[in-house]
Structure 1
Amino acid sequence: MAQGDYAVDGIEFPATIQVPDSPPLKFLGQGVTDMTIETILVKFTAIGVYASEDIKGHLKAWGGKASSDLTAEESGYFKDFVDAPVPKLLKIGVIKGIKGNQYGGTLESSIRDRLAYDDKYEEEEEAVVERIVEYLETKNLPPGSCMFIYWPTPDEIKMSVSTDNTIPEKFDFSAVNKNVATYLLHWYMGENAMSETTSAALAEGVVALLA
């Protein structure tokens, strides 16, 4: 690996990633999804968060603050990060293999429930969530495979799955819906995220970026 690259359980997170039609995206932090099963900690995925360095201009209010200030309840930081109109990407490396339909089912129920709670789950949102699930149902996610989720803008989602660590030459799924795009990113790294370690690591990365 090059200097500045990071790896966890065989999943590599380069210091920068270049995906199609995107500026270079900077690695800001990495966390995991895990669960303790019969006293054994089982890791499921490793999640790396990337964004254009231009995001600094949209997070100036958080300069000089500690990462704990950013992640404090109702701080407003997560919304500022998600709403910043710059490209963002998640690289999700699979540590423990899972079927695409299982992953899609978990994603669907979580995003649907969050949107419905805020009265934002209308026909358009339902259609986009169903398309994401249908896309994931066609994928196998063995150990070492990676899913890339890219937000060119806060309204748009693009996805691709790689059987190894290679960066996709093109994305084979795309959809435009601000509510789904926003809530999907919040689910991964926002307040009350599926991975608290990812949220915490990202906050530390943002603090370092703004220093």
Structure 2
Amino acid sequence: MSSKEVMIDEIPFPVEINRTRPLALVGQGMTSLEIHFLEIKLNAIGIYMDKDVTNHIYMDKDVTQHLESWKGKKRAELEEDNLFFNALVSAPVEKVFRIVVIKEIKGSQYGVQLEGAVRDRLAEVDKYEEEEEAALEKVTEFFQSIYLKKDSVITFYFLATSSAAEITFTKEGKEESKIQVDNANVVEMMQKWYLGGSMAISPSTIKNLAEKFEAILCQ
């Protein structure tokens, strides 16, 4: 394993990726199901954000500067604080969620999961209108035509300067398909599916984010 990689359930994740600037791996985990006391691992997750850019050539704020209120907080406090995770979601910095498939499934199954989670969150805050429905249908249709083989990758890219997001599907190292989501409410709830604190899909990722940010916010 390279010193520039970490292993998440035997899957290598780079510690840094580049979009318009370097993004650091600030959290990791996985999604799984428990069936008859047996854990079925579904996906490995890497969360990347714009961090420490003040040490580079950029003048923008990095994510830590949007989290000043949580400096000095311990892991357990952060893990239980949904306001902290809301601040992560709303921080206007570049973010990438790298999802690597462990248990292969149809793309439609993943798409239905995503659609249901986003729709329910929007309905709960009374933001599920025709525009959101249309944007979400577009995302669901995107996943209908793909098959999530083991080691294939779904990438969510959230821009810092707009409310748009980009979803990319990569198989065997080659980009297969891509879609842009322009509805701000849908984009926000897609972020919350993975970063939504107690309501997130991956408790292990939330726990790891809390642990990492305890250390990051002490620097």
Calculate the TM-score normalised by the size of structure 1: 0.91
Distance 1:125 1:11 in 2: 34
Structure 2 equivalent of residue 108 of structure 1: 115
Pairing 1:17–2:23 present: no
Gaps of 5+ in 1: none
Inter-CA distance 88–18: structure 2 relative to 1 (3 Å threshold): same
Structure 2 equivalent of residue 161 of structure 1: 169
Deviation per CA, 1:74-99: give whole Å up to 9, x if none.
4x101111000000010001000011
Which of 197, 200, 216 is matched with 1:193 structurally? 200
Runs of 4+ in 1 over 3 A off after TM superposition: none
Q: Which amino acid aligns with 2:2?
A: A
Q: Which amino acid aligns with 2:128?
A: Y
In the TM superposition, what is the alpha-carbon distance from 1:198 to its structure 2 partner?
Answer: 0.8
Pairing 1:92–2:99 present: yes
In the TM superposition, what is the alpha-carbon distance from 1:167 to its structure 2 partner?
Answer: 8.2
In the TM superposition, what is the alpha-carbon distance from 1:140 to its structure 2 partner?
Answer: 1.2
Pairing 1:122–2:135 present: no
Structure 2 equivalent of residue 77 of structure 1: 84
In the TM superposition, what is the alpha-carbon distance from 1:125 to its structure 2 partner?
Answer: 0.8
Inter-CA distance 151–171: structure 2 relative to 1 (3 Å threshold): farther
Q: Which amino acid aligns with 1:5?
A: E
In the TM superposition, what is the alpha-carbon distance from 1:206 to its structure 2 partner?
Answer: 1.7
Gaps of 5+ in 2: 52-61
Q: RMSD value over aligned CA atoms?
A: 1.8
Deviation per CA, 1:126-175: give whole Å up to 9, x if none.
111111111111211111111100101361110111113x485x972112
Matches within 5 A, 1:171-210: 172-191=178-197, 192-210=199-217
Q: Which amino acid aligns with 1:156?
A: A
Distance 1:91 1:167 in 2: 15
Structure 2 equivalent of residue 7 of structure 1: 7
Distance 1:110 1:202 in 2: 21
Distance 1:88 1:125 in 2: 22
Question: Do the aligned partners of 1:189 and 1:196 also contact (CA within 8 Å) in 2?
Answer: no
In the TM superposition, what is the alpha-carbon distance from 1:61 to its structure 2 partner?
Answer: 1.4
Distance 1:99 1:185 in 2: 22
Q: State the SS of the aligned residue for 1:147.
A: strand
Q: Which amino acid aligns with 2:125?
A: D
Identity between Structure 1 and Structure 2 (%): 37
Pairing 1:49–2:41 present: no
Which of 130, 143, 149 is matched with 2:156 structurally? 149
In the TM superposition, what is the alpha-carbon distance from 1:31 to its structure 2 partner?
Answer: 0.9
Structure 1 equivalent of residue 69 of structure 2: 61
Count of residue pairs brought into register by the alignment: 206
Q: Which amino acid aligns with 2:110?
A: Y
Deviation per CA, 1:37-85: give whole Å up to 9, x if none.
12211100111100001111111211111122112244x1011110000
Question: Do the aligned partners of 2:26 and 2:212 also contact (CA within 8 Å) in 1?
Answer: yes
